Structure 1
Amino acid sequence: MDPDSSGLPRPLYDALHREAQGLMRRYDVSERTVVSLLHQSENTMFLVRDPARPEPVVLRVHSQNLSYHSAPSIASELMWMQALRRDAGVIAPEPIPARDGSLVQLLSAPDLDKPRHAVIFSFLTGAEPPPETLIDNFERLGEITARMHRHARAWTVPRTFTRHAWDFDAAIGAHPLWGRWQDGMGVDPEALKILTRLAGVLKRRLERIGTAREYFGLIHADMRVANILVENDVTKVIDFDDCGLCWYIYDLATALSFLEEEPTVPALIAAWLKGYRKVMPLQREIEDEIPTFIMLRRLLEVAWLGTRRHLEFAQGLGAGFTAGSCRLAQDYLRRFG
């Protein structure tokens, strides 16, 4: 990826790149190791190539914009990833320790905007599933998600484990982790009226569902297509950065991120549910509320885009995404409001 298209100010990118390259001294790699930009979204992802090793690895440098970018929270994310790899057969990146055995590093320099945590992971091969294979891949995705949920329900959480919750307040309420949806791109007075009504209905319905253990627990929380890699018949899961406590069915809503207006959504939901039920049942009362969780996610996306306007991805969607969200909200409110 071209650093100039990252959306970061060039001096900040240069400082991040320099510190990322310098971080290699803490790892068991050769002096010829080269760090280059792989992807920029919430976090900055670097590809790390060492001529002395057959495979590259991936360095994630956190934005530190989110409250769950603390060292204990990141370490907890890695605990669950390792447990899923070990106990549930989920193919996920493997965290790679530094020479001293530590998994979470800290980058700090006078010209960095703030100290940032960083983690190195194994590189997983595969590609994002193409649109024409989405339905088949959603069935596999539902099955993998159910295995993750089954593991989370039975897992003995380590004493030091700490992750945030994606409840109403943390998503779109009084204490939003991704920013206020009201500050989203294109939220004009008419959109504000529609989406405020939507938020009120969502709040009431979520309160009625409640957070009992059979409904609410540890989930990935960002199972969108961009975080799925497919290689032959094998599906792999990446980017556990947002994992936290939420309604289990929210993982389905995240799988539909930015696809909510596509005509294939009913077929995608049916395929996901088919795969999920191969592993474990889903309560009928929760299945009936799938549209509620899709709209919760959609409003959260409006908030995320509004606070990440510097990203090329966000700019490409722009105010039109909020207009689409209002159309979806009106359809939802006719049924549930």
Structure 2
Amino acid sequence: MTASCPTVPDDGVVPDVERDVARAALAAFGIAADADLSFVKHRENHVWRVRAPGVDRALRMHRPGYRDDAQLRAECRALEVFRAAGLRVPAPVPTPRGEHVAVVVDAAGTRRQATMQEWCDGGAPVGDVGAAFEHGAGPEPGALYRLGRLAARLHQVASTASVPPSERPAWDAAGLTGPAALWGRPGDLASLDDEQRHILDDAEHAVAERLAGLRRDRATYGLIHADLTFENVLATPDGLVALDFDDSGEGWFMFDLATPAFWCGRGDGAAERVAALVGGYAAVRALTADDAAAWHPLLLARALSYLGWAAQRPDDPVSVWHHEVVAPFVVEGARRFVETGETGWPSLHAAGDAGRDAA
């Protein structure tokens, strides 16, 4: 998951064991160990920029235990399919032996997976979820419209091209609710009081029931990004680039649209911001009654997943922000969903109509 909170400055201090294992991984990709290795970020994975004569790449040292080798290979193959269809996504770089995943062992004896991509230069994230959620500060409607178009193009390709199976746990009803929820249970958030926890538990059951009744065919369900936050989309002179498919897997396409819609769907101007996002999507890929039926349960499922994520990381600064800022908003949406079947947040078709009018 991308850091969904106000930007936390990175002091650039990386444990020696991480720098050493990153250098060890360079050899597997045919790059000299003395290449320039610059730390970029650490959220779930450690990401490095690698520069040498004729080389400018991103090295990703993956979080141990999150993905197996087959899942990472499938992600790289999917990126290649997206690129072949003209989408701007990272370009995987295989090892000289043609492998997408290299394995090295760190000083503690832990097996570490590495993948490499061409560096995407000249871009900046389209926005910051913390600023958008708390203050309604961007992205501007034009950027949201373009983000909606990008999501629609990803789904067009996923629904029509031969995208390899993700081999990952799905973002389906079982992956979004219940004891096997991929990012944890929202009711486990320690800061909740008994009433809030009861509301979230009831909402989780209601969401599970609604998800169980949704259509699952090539028009509604397939490979999704699953973490399409503003930080995971770069604005470049040549257009938007979708990054970080680490959480990708099979799920309902509307889940991808619900992700940015949640972060820009609070406060003054929320309806207009979501309208721009959904309008961009609808300009490329027609919205249907099935999409409308999926919208509010998936929007709330997305919100609940963030609380589950925070519950598993109680001491993380990002989690603290979720406790203090995000949870009260989600609890209120959950209460409304239990009572009415909708969250009270901007609806799909109303937003899409407004977005097309604005365009």
Decide: shared fold, TM above 0.5. Answer: yes
Partner of 1:128: 125
Separation in 1, partners of 2:156, 2:139: 26
Secondary structure of the equivalent of 1:137? helix
Structure 2 residue 135 is matched with structure 1 residue 137: no
Separation in 2, partners of 1:270, 1:93: 28
Separation in 1, partners of 2:64, 2:324: 26
Separation in 1, partners of 2:186, 2:326: 12
**What does 1:74-113 correspond to in 2, within 5 Å?**
74-87=72-85, 89-111=86-108
CA RMSD in angstroms, aligned pairs only: 2.2
Partner of 1:296: 301
CA contact (8 A) 1:186 1:320 kept: no
Post-superposition CA distance 1:92-117 (Å, at most 9, x none)? 111111222211011323515x4221
State TM-score, norm by structure 1: 0.88
CA contact (8 A) 1:38 1:47 kept: yes
Partner of 2:253: 248
Partner of 2:68: 70
Separation in 1, partners of 2:166, 2:207: 29
Separation in 1, partners of 2:107, 2:263: 38
User: Which shows bigger deviation, 119-128 or 295-304?
Assistant: 119-128
CA contact (8 A) 1:49 1:56 kept: yes
Secondary structure of the equivalent of 2:37? strand
CA contact (8 A) 1:185 1:322 kept: no
Alpha-carbon offset, residue 271 of structure 1: 1.5
Structure 2 residue 220 is matched with structure 1 residue 215: yes
Equivalent residue letter for 1:107? V
Partner of 1:7: none
Cα distance change of structure 1 residues 39 and 64 upon mapping to structure 2, 3 Å threshold: same
Partner of 2:11: 2
Separation in 1, partners of 2:42, 2:184: 19
Cα distance change of structure 1 residues 157 and 49 upon mapping to structure 2, 3 Å threshold: closer
Cα distance change of structure 1 residues 106 and 227 upon mapping to structure 2, 3 Å threshold: same
Alpha-carbon offset, residue 288 of structure 1: 4.7
**What does 1:187-198 correspond to in 2, within 5 Å?**
187-198=192-203
Aligned length, in residue pairs:
323
Q: Which runs of 5+ in 2 are unaligned?
A: 1-9, 128-136, 343-359
Q: Which runs of 5+ in 1 are unaligned?
A: 5-9
State TM-score, norm by structure 2: 0.83
Alpha-carbon offset, residue 216 of structure 1: 1.4
User: Which shows bigger deviation, 257-266 or 127-136?
Assistant: 257-266
Displacement over 6 Å in runs of 4+: none
CA contact (8 A) 2:215 2:290 kept: no
